[in-house]
Amino acid sequence: MKRVIVGITGASGTILGVRALEILKGIEGVESHLVMSPSAVRTLGLETEYSYSDVTALADVTHNFRDIGSSVASGSFRNEGMIVAPCSVKTLSAVAHCNSGDLLSRAADVCLKERRRLVLMFRETPLHAGHIALMDQATRNGAIVMPTVIGLYYKPKTVDDIINHLVGRALDLMGIDSGSLVRRWGEDDTPDEYDEGESRDD
């Protein structure tokens, strides 16, 4: 059984964490562990039609945000790693500075010290120098900072297409196959070559 921790913070984009739980629920052999901040519960109500109980029902196990004695707070709890979706500036700062005052940041820090994957779906723009410094330090600590930058090569038609692709790519980083959710470069009807002299950056 693969265990994946999903952290949901109060940044805009709580649907990212919800979608991660929905996808993981449909994958056999994966057990999801949810840690959701009080601010995330408030943002969830502002941005979506989901309730807190709807979200906890998607997780195999839900842990109290303030319970730093929970299983995910220990390095002996075996898991594949953690996705923080979305990741707020506050949580990014906690990861960068090893500040583990709540279960979400503690579980993230444990993933780093145990050399497990920690994917931070950072949700902030525009950025000032402090944000960039935090991303740099979190990366130096071993985290993977994945800003929720929209891909366009797969020609998304709906917001759901964008959400699915972002979360699918985050799960890729965890070694979890989300099936057909991710439209991959060079597959299906995405372009796989360029005209002579054309650069992808042009």
The per-residue pLDDT for range 167-181, each reduced to its tens digit, is: 999 999 999 988 777
Alpha carbon distance 56, 21 (integer Å)? 9
* Whole-structure pTM value: 0.91
With a cut of 80, say whether residue 195 has pLDDT above it. Answer: no
pLDDT exceeding 90 applies to what percent of the chain?
A: 84
183 within some domain:
no
With a cut of 90, say whether residue 54 has pLDDT above it. Answer: yes
Question: What CATH number should be reported for the domain holding residue 154?
Answer: 3.40.50.1950
Average pLDDT for the chain: 92
197 within some domain:
no
Report CA 98 to chain centroid distance, whole Å: 19
Q: How many domains does the chain have?
A: 1
199 within some domain:
no
Query: Would the annotation count 12 as a binding residue?
Result: yes
Q: Give the model's pLDDT for residue 198.
A: 52
Q: Give the model's pLDDT for residue 7.
A: 98
142 within some domain:
yes
Mean pLDDT, range 153-170, rounded to an integer: 93
Query: Would the annotation count 11 as a binding residue?
Result: yes
pLDDT exceeding 70 applies to what percent of the chain?
A: 93
Query: Would the annotation count 95 as a binding residue?
Result: no
150 within some domain:
yes
Mean pLDDT, range 146-152, rounded to an integer: 93
Query: Would the annotation count 10 as a binding residue?
Result: yes
With a cut of 70, say whether residue 200 has pLDDT above it. Answer: no
Query: Would the annotation count 50 as a binding residue?
Result: no
105 within some domain:
yes
Q: Give the model's pLDDT for residue 171.
A: 95
Residue 79's closest CA among 153, 175, 179, 198?
A: 175
Query: Would the annotation count 190 as a binding residue?
Result: no
pLDDT band per the 50, 70, 90 thresholds, residue 96: very high
Query: Would the annotation count 197 as a binding residue?
Result: no
191 within some domain:
no
154 within some domain:
yes
Q: Show the domain range for 149.
A: 2-174
